[in-house]
Every structure is written in C-alpha cells, then in structure tokens.
Amino acid sequence: MAPQTGTALLVLAAFVLPGFVTVLLRERTYHVRAGVDTLELLLTALLYSGLIYLGAACAALLAGVSTADVAALTRGQASLATYALLAFAGLILGPALITFTGTRWLDSRVRVAFHRRLRIDPTHATRSGWGRAFSHRGPRLMLITLDDGRLVGGLFGTDSIVGHARNGDVFLQERWVVGEDAWFTGERAPETQGMYVAGEKIVSIEVYDLPRNG
C-alpha cells in the first residue's frame, strides 16, 4: 500500500529539511555555490541530514535513550515540548553546528597540514574560478572589467553580495575611483553607497589586498 500523502510529506520534511537548512546556512556564510543542480542539491541535503541524525543518535546513546523511548516518539506518545526540542535540534542546532565547524575547518591550520600530508591540492575543493574569486576571507579590493571596456572597482566586504555562479551579479559595498593608469587613486567615490555590476557585463575580475591605510 502506498503511503498517505501526509505521511510522505512528513518523511520528506524530516529527512530533507535539516540538510537543506544546512546548505542555505553554508551558502550565506562561507560557501559559494558553483551552480544549480537539483539532484546534487538534493543529495547534499540528504548527506547533511544523515550527519545530523547520526549526531543525534550519538547524543541519544550518551543520554541513555532507549529504543522504547524512540518507539514512543514515532507513535506520537511524547510531550509537545519533546517534539519542539527535536525540531529545534534538527532545523537549527544541527545545521548551525555543521556550518560553524565548516567555517572553523576552512580557516584552520589543521586543514592545511592535512592537505599537505595527503598531497591534496586545496584548490580542488573549489569547483570554479568564480567561486575561488569570492572564497577569500576578509575585505578585498576588486577591479572589474566590463564588456564595453570600462574599468570599475571598489571594496568587496561584509556588506557586499555576489551571485552563486558565473555570470552572477556583484554588489560592491563601496565604489572607489579608478584613475587613467587603471589603478585606484586611493579615493572613494563621493557619498558612495555601493555599486551594482550585472553578471553578464563582467569580462574579468581582479582581486587585491586592502591597503592597511584603506
């Protein structure tokens, strides 16, 4: 007998939503998605959901939760507070822990040593040059060449936004003046509130360290 629609939706939500929330948190913190592939997104969400449930199972073992307690949960015999706590753990706590661990791992010296020991090129984790350009940590200066030959630039910082994939839009939080020598004059555009650049207009992007007195 095929499962009822309500049951199927509940199972889908239970096994996909935690991972999907994790994917969203990663993309809004440190991970730039190289593209949109429905199957890949689904499999990634299921992977993170599996990690969250594995962590929950380990925590349950340490807390002494029995199979009878789990069976009571599946039969709807637990308190409302228990279900609310499980929802918080699956949709908020689990994804947040995975995201926090990912950011710490990205900046850790252990990751660098691990890659060197196994002779892994760290750039293999980045699936596109577009993703690599925006995978840096901290503010940077960017020079952007447009398809009409113009050269514009500014500050890409915490208030800047970039599209997920190649041809994605870019918003620089500050526009800086570019001189005739194709370099920054050191001055911000008067009263700048940022600069939007359409992805299809971008020919190339140059990334530079922010001057210490910038």
In the chain, where the domains are located? 5-111, 136-209
**Residue 25 pLDDT greater than 60, yes or no:** yes
Query: Which candidate, 184, 186, 129, 176, places its Cα nearest to that of 156?
Result: 176
Q: Which residues contact 137 (CB under 8 A, 6 or more apart)?
A: 106, 107
Share of the chain above pLDDT 70, in %: 84
Share of the chain above pLDDT 90, in %: 35
Instruction: Compute and round to an integer the Cα radius of gyration of the chain.
Output: 23
**Residue 213 pLDDT greater than 70, yes or no:** no
Of 16-20, 21-25, 163-167, 170-174, give the lowest mean pLDDT range. Answer: 163-167
Assess if CATH 2.30.30 describes domain 136-209. Answer: yes
What average pLDDT does range 71-92 have in this prediction? Answer: 86
Q: Per-residue pLDDT tens for 160-181?
A: 888 766 667 899 999 999 998 9
Q: Per-residue pLDDT tens for 98-125?
A: 989 988 887 778 877 887 888 776 666 6
Report whether 26 contacts 103 (CB < 8 A). Answer: no
How far is 121 from 41, CA to CA, in rounded Å?
24
Q: pLDDT confidence of 1, banded at 50, 70, 90?
A: very low
Query: Which candidate, 205, 192, 204, 214, places its Cα nearest to that of 138?
Result: 214
Is the entire prediction scored with pTM above 0.75? Answer: no
How far is 25 from 96, CA to CA, in rounded Å?
7
Q: Mean pLDDT across the chain, nearest whole number?
A: 83
